[in-house]
């Protein structure tokens, strides 16, 4: 079918305020990385996370790269990362000339397994990047105590988890630094964009320095460090300022989507629902289920059936350690990541999704489940 997807996996939610602030940039000429919105967005987002400093960047990837760079991580160093994440989590370690050491995830939250982290620590380990996958916080206390024991930094890759909470504290405020993405399909968007947040003033200063060519803030064109141009524009920040007014509404709607999905899919055999542990506020960036058991190897057919009805889905990420640039250096087998990656399917998760759409999506899935059951019964009757 050549028609475009009618129910997309994600949608940007922009309104009058976004348009007004963008127009203000265009009308005033403040379209580059100077202008009033960059600082305003940094302040609003840092305070939302419950931290002192926010440094806006050009993307989530550059935020993560800056976090590692300002810790001086480089050749000869190792950084522990979950293999079950988006590729950028590992690439930023490679950009620094350091080695990403892959670790498996837990079966319940699909997040970094603290036991596997402990086993992966060596004399060369400098940091752990935790990922709050799909918006569920990682197992922070366990990981922080490993980090404390071995004097490691914990960097949060919170690119999918704006507003997610661990024991009542917002993600981004839990590690040495937190990194966020404002790409078009994230919880809030600036088109492209990112942010590093931290309570540490010297790290914040260093991130600011490195994101702007390492240029002295007191002496124009004096560069004591090799920096980058990872600046966010005022245009992007204008979107961010407007988006901050609806961030809780976006999360409420994503949580509502999850509640409806959970209630409609709960009793279908072979479907595993995403978990929300008692200590977590999950923000369900993407509502993701596992399709297994009775539905074994049927993920593709569910995706196809939904697609033919104009409903977009996404398979889970592949384990990063299986990707061509990384598979030669892979350090072990990752049973949970392999299984979850094969069976995971993300369903439409837009804050603009209608309740009726979720009912339709779940009806298609239920029909497939029933269809398979019927077929099985028929064939076994025929045999006997
Ligand atoms: C989106 C994402 C990133 C990268 O963010 P960009 O803004 O696209 O560079 C990094 N890590 C995770 C887990 C992500 O989901």
What's the confidence (pLDDT) of residue 383? 37
Reduced to 3 states (helix: H, G, I; strand: E, B; else coil), residue 313 is coil
- Asked if residues 158 and 171 have their Cβ atoms less than 8 Å apart, the reply is yes
Atom 5 of ligand 1, nearest CA residue: 60
- 160, 179, 192: which to mutate for ligand 1, most atoms within 8 A of CB? 160
- 112, 179, 181: which to mutate for ligand 1, most atoms within 8 A of CB? 181
Q: Which two tokens stand for residue 265?
A: 């899919």
- 89, 92, 337: which to mutate for ligand 1, most atoms within 8 A of CB? 89
* Whether residue 160 has its Cβ less than 6 Å from ligand 1: yes
**Helix, strand, coil in percent for the chain, rounding step 5:** 45, 15, 40
- In the predicted model, what is the mean pLDDT of residues 65-89? 98
pLDDT in tens, 118-154: 999 999 999 999 999 999 999 999 999 999 999 999 9
Residue 185 clears pLDDT 90, i.e. is over it: yes
User: How far is Cα 22 from Cα 20, in angstroms, rounded to an integer?
Assistant: 6
Residue 314 Cα to ligand 1 midpoint, Å, equals: 16
What's the confidence (pLDDT) of residue 368? 85
What's the confidence (pLDDT) of residue 372? 53
User: How far is Cα 159 from Cα 382, in angstroms, rounded to an integer?
Assistant: 52
Burial string for 15-52 (b: 16+ CB within 10 Å, else e) reads eebbeebbeebeeeebeebebbbbebbbebbbebbbbe
* Whether residue 131 has its Cβ less than 6 Å from ligand 1: yes
Which pTM value belongs to this model? Answer: 0.94
- Asked if residues 238 and 100 have their Cβ atoms less than 8 Å apart, the reply is no
What's the confidence (pLDDT) of residue 4? 55
* Whether residue 292 has its Cβ less than 6 Å from ligand 1: no
User: How far is Cα 2 from Cα 233, in angstroms, rounded to an integer?
Assistant: 37
Reduced to 3 states (helix: H, G, I; strand: E, B; else coil), residue 258 is helix
User: How far is Cα 95 from Cα 84, in angstroms, rounded to an integer?
Assistant: 19
* Whether residue 89 has its Cβ less than 6 Å from ligand 1: yes
- 68, 155, 159, 184: which to mutate for ligand 1, most atoms within 8 A of CB? 159
Residue 180 Cα to ligand 1 midpoint, Å, equals: 8
Residue 198 clears pLDDT 70, i.e. is over it: yes
* Whether residue 111 has its Cβ less than 6 Å from ligand 1: no
What's the confidence (pLDDT) of residue 371? 74
What's the confidence (pLDDT) of residue 381? 38
Residue 163 Cα to ligand 1 midpoint, Å, equals: 16
Confidence of residue 109 (pLDDT cuts 50, 70, 90): very high
Rg (CA), the chain: 22
Residue 179 Cα to ligand 1 midpoint, Å, equals: 9
- 183, 188, 239, 319: which to mutate for ligand 1, most atoms within 8 A of CB? 183
> Which range, 221-225, 247-251, 369-373, has the best average confidence (pLDDT)?
247-251
Which parts of the chain are beta strand (E)? Answer: 53-57, 78-82, 99-103, 125-131, 153-157, 165-166, 169-170, 177-181, 194-198, 271-272, 280-281, 287-291, 314-315, 344-347
* Whether residue 194 has its Cβ less than 6 Å from ligand 1: yes
What's the confidence (pLDDT) of residue 374? 43
Confidence of residue 301 (pLDDT cuts 50, 70, 90): confident
* Whether residue 358 has its Cβ less than 6 Å from ligand 1: no
- In the predicted model, what is the mean pLDDT of residues 73-78? 98
Residue 67 Cα to ligand 1 midpoint, Å, equals: 14
Q: Residue 108's Cα: distance from chain center in Å?
A: 17
Please provide the DSSP assignment of 86-107 as one string. Answer: -THHHHHHHHTT-EEEEE-B-T
Q: Which two tokens stand for residue 195?
A: 């942010």
Relative to the CA of 181, which ligand 1 atom is closest?
Answer: 7
What's the confidence (pLDDT) of residue 332? 76
* Whether residue 346 has its Cβ less than 6 Å from ligand 1: no
Q: Report in angstroms the alpha-carbon separations of 39 from 33, 184, 189, 253, 382.
A: 10, 21, 16, 28, 71
- In the predicted model, what is the mean pLDDT of residues 69-82? 98
Reported residue count of the chain is 384
* Whether residue 86 has its Cβ less than 6 Å from ligand 1: yes
What's the confidence (pLDDT) of residue 239? 98
């Amino acid at each position: 079918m050549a028609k475009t997807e009618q129910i997309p996996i994600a949608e940007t939610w922009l309104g009058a305020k976004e348009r007004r602030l963008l127009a203000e940039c265009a009308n005033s000429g403040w379209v580059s990385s100077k202008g009033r919105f960059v600082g305003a967005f940094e302040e609003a987002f840092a305070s939302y996370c419950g931290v002192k400093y926010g440094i806006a960047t050009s993307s989530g990837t550059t935020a993560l790269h800056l976090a590692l760079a300002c810790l001086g991580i480089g050749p000869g160093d190792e950084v522990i990362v979950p293999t079950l994440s988006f590729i950028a989590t590992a690439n930023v370690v490679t950009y620094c000339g350091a080695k990403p050491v892959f670790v498996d995830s837990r079966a319940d939250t699909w997040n970094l397994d603290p036991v596997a982290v402990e086993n992966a620590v060596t004399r060369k380990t400098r940091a752990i990047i935790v990922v709050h996958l799909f918006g569920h916080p990682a197992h922070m206390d366990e990981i922080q105590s490993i980090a404390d024991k071995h004097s490691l930094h914990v960097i949060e890759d919170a690119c999918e988890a704006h507003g997610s909470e661990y024991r009542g504290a917002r993600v981004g405020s839990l590690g040495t630094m937190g990194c966020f993405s404002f790409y078009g399909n994230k919880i809030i968007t600036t088109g492209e964009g990112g942010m590093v947040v931290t309570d540490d003033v010297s790290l914040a200063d260093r991130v600011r320095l490195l994101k702007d060519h390492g240029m002295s803030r007191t002496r124009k064109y004096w560069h004591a460090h090799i920096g980058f141009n990872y600046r966010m524009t005022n245009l992007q920040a204008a979107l961010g300022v407007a988006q901050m007014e609806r961030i809780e509404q976006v999360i409420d709607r994503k949580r509502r989507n999850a509640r409806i999905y959970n209630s409609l899919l709960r009793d279908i055999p072979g479907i595993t629902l995403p978990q929300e542990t008692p200590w977590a506020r999950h923000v369900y960036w993407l509502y993701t289920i596992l399709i297994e058991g009775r539905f074994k190897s049927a993920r593709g057919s569910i995706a196809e059936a939904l697609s033919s009805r104009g409903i977009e889905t996404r398979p889970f990420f592949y384990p990063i350690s299986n990707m061509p640039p990384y598979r030669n250096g892979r350090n072990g087998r990752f049973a949970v990541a392999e299984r979850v990656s094969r069976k995971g399917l993300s369903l439409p998760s837009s804050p603009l999704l209608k309740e009726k759409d979720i009912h339709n999506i779940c009806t298609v899935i239920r029909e497939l489940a029933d269809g398979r059951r019927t077929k099985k019964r028929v064939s076994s009757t025929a045999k006997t």
